[in-house]
Amino acid sequence: MNFPYFIARRLYRGDGTQQSKRRASTPAIHIATAGVALGLAVMIISVSVVQGFKGEISRKVVGFGSHIEVMDVGTFGAPEHYPINTSEAFVQSLQATPGISHAQRFTQKLGILKTANDFLGITLKGVGEDYDLSFIRENMQEGQLPTFRSDTASNRLVISRTQADALHLKVGDKVYAYFFEQTVKTRRFTIAGIYQSNLAQFDKIIAITDKRTVNRLNHWPDTLSTGVELLAHDFDHLPAAAAAVTGTIRRHYHGENTPVAITIKEHYPQIFSWLSLLDMNVWVILALMICVAGFTMVSGLFILILERTNTIGLLKALGAANRSVRHVFLHFAVFITLKGLLIGNLIGIGLVGAQQQWGFAKLDPATYYVESVPVSLNPWVILLLNAATLALTTLALVGPSFMISRIQPAKAIRFE
């Protein structure tokens, strides 16, 4: 058996005896264990919250705009004036592009919803049977989500809770929409449902109806659309998928009015830049918690060495080298760290799991876009945090352990 490990294990197990409980090092060991446990628990919670928050916000943005959008460049200024040809052959080619799982057409029109006392500017989004409305369906609060078609005008409208409250509308109400070109066009819609995503940037303006109605307002045939939204297989490889989509577009389009493919990150850079800033907060928290764990362990190691000076002298007198004695106390410290990691995992994973199950930590959706703190448990990230904490904490103890080399056996044996 490894000599340093054997001695360290005997010393660590001896901490349960009545004599060891009276030692001055016992509170230090408890504090060191608590420091490691607290540090790891905070790291697990921080990473889980940030990953959950980023994932939830990204999911909501993608729910309104997909992963990649194929549109005319001019659409960013005036969506109703720059349509693209979205024939069935073109859409099928986009869907067959490597990295793409689904393609869906949409048409937009800027307008105003008006009641007897209020009015509100909106972006009317027309969708057909090929459009994936699962995100809106998940966030429906009232009414039902109609089955919209590209070849049938239904005049049914789905609005957000923000719009409904601003205009004092409820399911079943009639509302007039006005669209301004050379003349004013009026359409009367029936409120079929009300959704709430808590993403204010979209809840304020997006209203959904069938594609045929919006195409008629734009004087477009069914083969024209504002653009095509594409869902990708892997969110982390959007640039590669967008490059493949660009190749598909060039095979179908030739000339100056060629559409462009932009990723959701390029379309809404302010949102994703803000989410990227959260990573810096996580790194700061991780660094601070590693420092806390390392500091408490170093303090505990110093106290252990000072209290067991006579044991160190005895081991040296029996022929143990400085390196072996140092390894005894490093093993001892690792035992303490492992116990702290176990407790930290129980606390951190337990709290994150409870939040996933019950969502007891609430947030103001007007500020944070979600009603409760979103969390995401990644086993690989947790394993990495454990391994990094153990490695860095042990590495921090190597320097202080050289203090053992300065202890002389003749004096240490007489030390009390």
pTM: 0.81
Give me the pLDDT at residue 73, please: 85
* Angle at the Cα of 276 from the Cα atoms of 376 and 245, rounded to 5 degrees: 90
Whether 404 contacts 308, CB under 8 Å: no
* Alpha helix (H) residue ranges in 139-268: 161-167, 200-203, 211-218, 238-252, 264-267
Query: Considering the chain, what is the average pLDDT of its residues?
Result: 86
Alpha-carbon distances, residue 341 vs 21, 86, 300, 351 (angstroms): 22, 56, 16, 15
- The Cα–Cα gap between 137 and 144 comes to 8
Q: What local confidence, expressed as pLDDT, does residue 22 receive?
A: 46
pLDDT at 412: 55
Range list of β-strands (E), 63-173 = 68-71, 84-85, 100-114, 119-127, 140-143, 156-160
Name the DSSP letter for residue 108.
E
> Which backbone phi and psi does 108 adopt, to 5 degrees?
-125, 155
Distances in Å between the alpha carbon of 264 and those of 76, 159, 232? 13, 23, 11
Per DSSP, 254 falls in state -
- At 74-124, the pLDDT tens digits run 887 777 778 999 989 999 999 999 999 999 999 999 999 999 889 999 999
Q: Give pLDDT tens digits for 342-390.
A: 999 999 999 999 999 998 888 888 788 888 899 999 999 999 999 999 8
